[in-house]
Amino acid sequence: MSLLNRRSTLLALSALALSGVAGQVAAQQVVTLRLHQMLPPQATIPARALVPWAQKVEADSGGRIKVQLFHAMQLGGAPPQLFDQARDGVVDLTWTVLGYTPGRFNKSEVFELPFMSGSAEESSRAFQEYVEKNAADEFKDVRLIAVHT
């Protein structure tokens, strides 16, 4: 289990910024989405989640959508700025830790508490459902793909 999971750190893959991406895909052009995240490529999240997800996006789109990963803050900034980078269109996608911006996601902070559930899968499902029903307004400036604990 990774250090992030052991610490019950709130994690989120966020967000497809509102941009011209949808129109480009509809026009059958090859689109490359830039995904910026803070961890080294060999870390658990990039290696076991982000890279396989990017490969699936490309395969499922018949090669029309590619995801280029930028690890370890390669595009600059600091981890607390990742959400804003997606919101502001600096990048198309980010994976970040919401807890790095305390007080910003007040409705979601409860999921940072330790021992919320017996498994990451269980708490991730609960978190996703909670955000969809009660905290969507915290992410109104982006298109949230998923949240997990």
10 pLDDT band, cuts 50/70/90, is: very low
Distance CA 141, CA 129 (A): 19
Mean pLDDT of 133-139: 97
Structure tokens at 131: 């955000």
Structural domains of the chain, count: 1
Distance CA 89, CA 95 (A): 14
21 pLDDT band, cuts 50/70/90, is: low
Cα separations in angstroms, 50 against 3, 105, 118, 127, 145: 17, 23, 24, 19, 12
- The pairing of strands 142-148 and 65-70 is unpaired
Q: How many CA atoms lie within 13 A of 53 on its CB side?
A: 16
pLDDT tens, position by position, 35-77: 999 999 999 999 999 999 999 999 999 999 999 999 999 999 9
Q: What is the reported pLDDT for 11? A: 46
pLDDT tens, position by position, 83-96: 999 999 999 999 99
- How does the average pLDDT of the chain come out, rounded? 86
| This prediction's pTM | 0.81
The whole domain housing 19 covers 3-148
Tokens 């995240």 -> residue: 37
Q: What is the reported pLDDT for 72? A: 99
Tokens 């991730």 -> residue: 124
Report which residue type is found at 32. T
Distance CA 124, CA 74 (A): 28
Q: What is the reported pLDDT for 112? A: 87
Is 13 in contact with 46 (CB distance < 8 Å)?
Answer: no
Q: What is the CATH number of the domain that holds 104?
A: 3.40.190.170
Tokens 């699936």 -> residue: 56
113 pLDDT band, cuts 50/70/90, is: confident
